Amino acid sequence: MAMPVVALVGRPNVGKSTLFNRIANERISIVEDTPGVTRDRIYTHAEWLGKQFSMIDTGGITMESQQLNQEIKNQAEIAIEEADVVIMVVDARVGVVDDDETVARILYQSQKPVILAVNKADNLEQRQDIYDFYTLGLGDPLPVSGVHGTGVGDLLDEVVKNFSDDQMIDDDDSIKFSFIGRPNVGKSSLVNAILGENRVIVSNQEGTTRDSVDTSFIDETGQLYTMIDTAGIRKRGKVYENTEKYSVMRALRAIDRSDVVIMVIDGEQGIREQDKRVAGFAHEAGRGVVIAVNKWDIVANKDHKTMQEFEAYIRTEFRYLSYAPIIFVSALKHQRLQQIVELVAAINDNQNRRIQSSLLNEMLLKATAIAPAPTVKTKRLKVYYLTQVATNPPTFIAFVNDPEIFHFSYERFIINQLREMFDFTGTPIKVIARLRK
């Protein structure tokens, strides 16, 4: 399911980043009292009234002639194009200015639902001074305070009213998987090789794939799959073209839509720091992960130990992906491509695996016999029982006497015991400590 996308736009220094952080409930954007600090779009997930959505923070739109301001304007226009709903942010203290009218004109052309948020309405007097903003022709202005949080609930009520039902429902029962990674590691070539036909443009030019491309196919068992090819995610410092920056959003949305993510590494070039960041997107999203080392056919000076040494190298660099299987493939030579599809199917099953509470607590008894719960500050942790509460990824509640002393090392121990007892290959596992009442 592709979550609805909400973009915050407006001229510089109206408080978009502060409002963004308030909605996201965490400080993600840099907040500084200087116009133009937020130069690139920044993305996060948010939820209101049980409805999840992606949110984009943008640099301000302004008509000044400096090159940077033109770049920020282009970025905001791309975000508007990507968004399902736009929040236009204005400043209650300053009132309507020419740049606000410029933004409003751009939004008229977008034909997107627009919610007008009058930010910095921190007191009663400022909340009453919002009526000038009717001149923008964007409907009722809503007074909000990104700093204090007042009015944000009313704003989000209006936002979610504009989500269509088909955005919240996914009727497609196919297994969805995407290829992510740096540009030019061979993602599009793998898609084409698996399909056996050129359905995606393939080029050795970095960034050829500008958009995510969905392709469906059925395997010999009759299982329906949807492959999502994505543009390469490249390091922010090297991202110059607007279309390249736009592709990052597409890649993150592809991860959101995927059941399983294939992290593609260039076998010839090895692992770069950017590979770790890209893989982190999938891990944090709770998706199943396969690590595919592509171009293995052109790795020089291979012997019987090369694959084993490269796998050890991957495990060292991707410690948080210890659960992800590693496969060495070649799109050019069609080596082990069928194994990718088989792994995706198996990991999808593991993502959806449910374990009976009786089996979980049998495992817990054995685990505590192996390693009794630790004592923290003279208080011994007691884990009374485990129960599974969700899938995708498998999520368990551990009922304990004190969640504060449920140390991450013991959490990791329980996760390892779950993996040893049950097949959770390829999927992250979450264990949440709760107080037993």
Cα separation, 414 vs 364, in Å, equals: 8
Residue 232 assigned ligand-binding role: yes
Residue 393 assigned ligand-binding role: no
Classified as helix, coil or strand, 222 is coil
Residue 119 assigned ligand-binding role: yes
Residue 2 assigned ligand-binding role: no
Residue 15 assigned ligand-binding role: yes
Question: Which two structure tokens, joined as six digits, stand for 327?
Answer: 């496969």
Residue 14 assigned ligand-binding role: yes
Residue 181 assigned ligand-binding role: yes
Residue 370 assigned ligand-binding role: no
Residue 59 assigned ligand-binding role: yes
Residue 149 assigned ligand-binding role: no
Residue 203 assigned ligand-binding role: no
DSSP state string for 114-144: EEEEEE---SHHHHHTTGGGGGG-SS--EE-
Nearest to 275 by CA among 318, 237, 231: 318
Beta bridge partners of 261: 178, 289
Residue 392 assigned ligand-binding role: no
194 burial level (CB within 10 Å; 0-12, 13-18, 19+): buried
173 burial level (CB within 10 Å; 0-12, 13-18, 19+): exposed
Residue 48 assigned ligand-binding role: no
Helices (H), 145-287: 152-161, 165-168, 187-195, 242-257, 273-284
Residue 352 assigned ligand-binding role: no
Q: Compute the C-alpha angle 339/340/343, nearest 5°.
A: 80
Residue type present at position 170: D
**Cβ–Cβ < 8 Å for 260, 392:** no
Residue 112 assigned ligand-binding role: no
Residue 230 assigned ligand-binding role: yes
Residue 333 assigned ligand-binding role: no
Residue 154 assigned ligand-binding role: no
Nearest to 181 by CA among 191, 171, 172, 173: 191
Please tell me what DSSP assigns to residue 272.
-
Cα separation, 52 vs 16, in Å, equals: 20
Residue 294 assigned ligand-binding role: yes
Residue 426 assigned ligand-binding role: no
Residue 433 assigned ligand-binding role: no
Residue 297 assigned ligand-binding role: yes
Residue 176 assigned ligand-binding role: no
Cα separation, 21 vs 279, in Å, equals: 24
Cα separation, 392 vs 429, in Å, equals: 9
**Cβ–Cβ < 8 Å for 250, 236:** no
Residue 271 assigned ligand-binding role: no
Residue 182 assigned ligand-binding role: yes
Residue 184 assigned ligand-binding role: yes
Instruction: Using only the alpha carbons of the chain, give its radius of gyration.
Output: 24
**Cβ–Cβ < 8 Å for 252, 281:** yes
14-42 as b/e, with b when 16 or more CB fall inside 10 Å? Answer: bbbbbbbbbbbeeeebebeeebbebeebb
Q: What residues are designated binding site?
A: 10-17, 57-61, 119-122, 181-188, 229-233, 294-297
Q: What residues are designated binding site for GTP?
A: 10-17, 57-61, 119-122, 181-188, 229-233, 294-297
